Amino acid sequence: MISHTLVVLLLTQTPPASSAAAPSDDIAEAYVARCSGCHTVGGGALKGPDLAASTQWPRASLRLAVAKMEKNVGAMTDSELDAFTDFLLSPELRPRLEAARAAAAQKLQAKLDPPSASTGEALFEGITRLDGGGPACSACHRVAGIGGALGPDLTHLSGKMDEIGMVSAFQGANFPVMRAAYAGRAVTAQEAVHLAAYVRSKKDSEVQTGPYSLVIGAGVGLGLATFAALAALLRPRRRQSDRNLDLGRSNQ
């Protein structure tokens, strides 16, 4: 799939900062780019099950399960299937995953403009058009009370997925309805980074109390559509400061 090729290219083009100390772990980075949007290892279920249990499976069963993922990630060669299977069975799985996530975050940071929640908000709501010409996320998704309801509410997404997982999921369009909507017009890595910053900022802002969250809270609590519309009108158009990718967070 084009979007995955883009991520993989992105992840493989920049040499690691300290290549002598940490040789690049290609399959771990491919896993982060192609699989971690739907799976954690020990961090709970996302779209797909937590893979902690399946790392204990016999190799043949695990390889079959990985092969079934072609429906999600596109075709894999035999050697890729072997490599993903062996990666999941590796006793070093967790540290390798951690290192690959950190490397991926670093490469995203090096190659792209820093994440901007306000740019992400404009993209999410369709105020800025997506480069590929795909529909705005808010056509189908809600964040903090604003947007459509065909897809799941994304307000708390960043509680279960870290930035790298979100960036991978946003570009991958691995969900059937979205795959159709973004076929041939994939979200770019840069757009995904801004969108992730926006989703993240909404989760953070919900923790604060203030008139804005009270309005949203009342709207949700009373379940009145008019309240949601009012909240949209009252919503302050404040600038949100850029956020850097947070390397400390992980969902493995």
Residues that bind ligand HEC (CB under 6 A): 34-35, 37-39, 46-49, 51, 53-54, 62, 65-66, 68-69, 72-73, 84, 135, 137, 139-141, 150-152, 154, 157, 169-170, 174-178, 181, 187, 195
| Cβ nearer to ligand HEC, comparing 46 with 105 | 46
CB 127 within 8 A of CB 235: no
**Could you tell me the sign of the dihedral formed by the alpha carbons of 232, 236, 237, 239, in that order?**
negative
Q: What are phi and psi of 108, to 5 degrees?
A: -60, -45
Among residues 107, 97, 130, 115, which one has the least CA distance to residue 10?
Answer: 107
Q: Minimal distance in Å, beta carbon 245 to ligand HEC? A: 16
Closest separation between CB of residue 169 and ligand HEC, Å?
Answer: 4
Distance in Å, CB of 214 to ligand HEC, minimum = 26
Q: Which C-beta is closer to ligand HEC: that of 114 or that of 151?
A: 151
Q: Rank residues 175 and 212 by Cβ distance to ligand HEC and give the closer one.
A: 175
For residues 244 and 252, what is the distance between their CA atoms, to the nearest angstrom?
19
Beta carbons within 10 angstroms of residue 61's beta carbon: 11
Instruction: Compare residues 65 and 230 and give the one whose CB is closer to ligand HEC.
Output: 65
Shortest spacing between CB 19 and ligand HEC, in angstroms: 25
Q: Provide, rounded to whole angstroms, the least separation between the CB of residue 130 and ligand HEC.
A: 7
Round to whole Å and give the CA distance between 192 and 50.
23
Which CB atom, from 93 or from 215, has the smaller least distance to ligand HEC? 93
Q: What count of other Cβ atoms lies within 10 Å of the Cβ of residue 229?
A: 13
CA distance 7 to 186: 11
Which of residues 110 and 149 has its CB atom nearest to ligand HEC in the complex? 149
Q: How far is the CB of 158 from ligand HEC (least distance, A)?
A: 10
Contact present, 4 and 189 (Cβ < 8 Å):
no
